[in-house]
Chains A and B, each alone.
Chain A
Amino acid sequence: GDSVTQMEGPVTLSEEAFLTINCTYTATGYPSLFWYVQYPGEGLQLLLKATKADDKGSNKGFEATYRKETTSFHLEKGSVQVSDSAVYFCALGHTGGFKTIFGAGTRLFVKA
């Protein structure tokens, strides 16, 4: 069945450092790929998405490119801020709705 694997955390960075959180997936067909973020005490929020191969999703300085050849969707940000501290979830879903499959999440701590 479909699955998502993302790097284990926590990831601890200093402010203005470069961020990469790795995500790979296994799926039939051509799923949509997502990154969601969960701030403390809150539900998940969509951060960015890509619906087909080579698409780049971007939002709030974060980027991820849908790489079908490597089945990856790594999250990157050039300069992290303390306010980016949260748990990041990689996820996939198929056209037509139905379930979204989430990775286990990667906790990011950014130090001032």
Chain B
Amino acid sequence: DAGVTQSPTHLIKTRGQQVTLRCSPKSGHDTVSWYQQALGQGPQFIFQYYEEEERQRGNFPDRFSGHQFPNYSSELNVNALLLGDSALYLCASSHTPTGIGQSPLHFGNGTRLTVT
């Protein structure tokens, strides 16, 4: 049973460029969330996708956008890259909860983005 897979694992971009990161959720999961993890910090919520719609968004500018496909996979796009966008980008999948409590997240290993 494949877990959450992300690609690429590493990426180096120049300021002002655009980047697309990809994520395939764990089998059976229908919800994908994206997080940004700066060095030495906890993950910060970017947004969550469910049924191909953005369901909630964190405190990130519109330069950050996403998409979810019918097979539940997802992309994160970042435009006009800034040096401060350098971070580990984590994709997490989950199953939309039907009971009490929030379903735990299953994370990929992340994409390390370096902006120079």
Taking Cβ atoms with an 8 Å cutoff, the residues of A that contact B are 4, 31-32, 34, 36, 41-46, 49, 51-52, 89, 91, 93-105
Contacts and interface: CB of A to CB of B under 8 A. Distances in A.
Residues of B contacting A: mostly? loop
A96 B44 CA distance: 19
B42 A105 contact: yes
Given A43-B107, A100-B45, 14 more contacts: A32-B102, A44-B43, A44-B90, A51-B100, A91-B42, A93-B102, A97-B94, A97-B103, A98-B55, A99-B56, A100-B92, A102-B35, A102-B44, A105-B42
B74 interface: no
B25 interface: no
Nearest to B106: A46
A13 B105 CA distance: 29
Interface of B: 4, 31, 33, 35, 40-45, 48, 50, 55-56, 58, 90, 92, 94, 96-97, 100-110
A97 B58 CA distance: 14
A101 to B, nearest CB: 7
Contacts, number: 78
A79 B100 CA distance: 32
A95 B42 contact: no
Nearest to B42: A102
Contacts of B48: 97-99
A46 B105 contact: yes
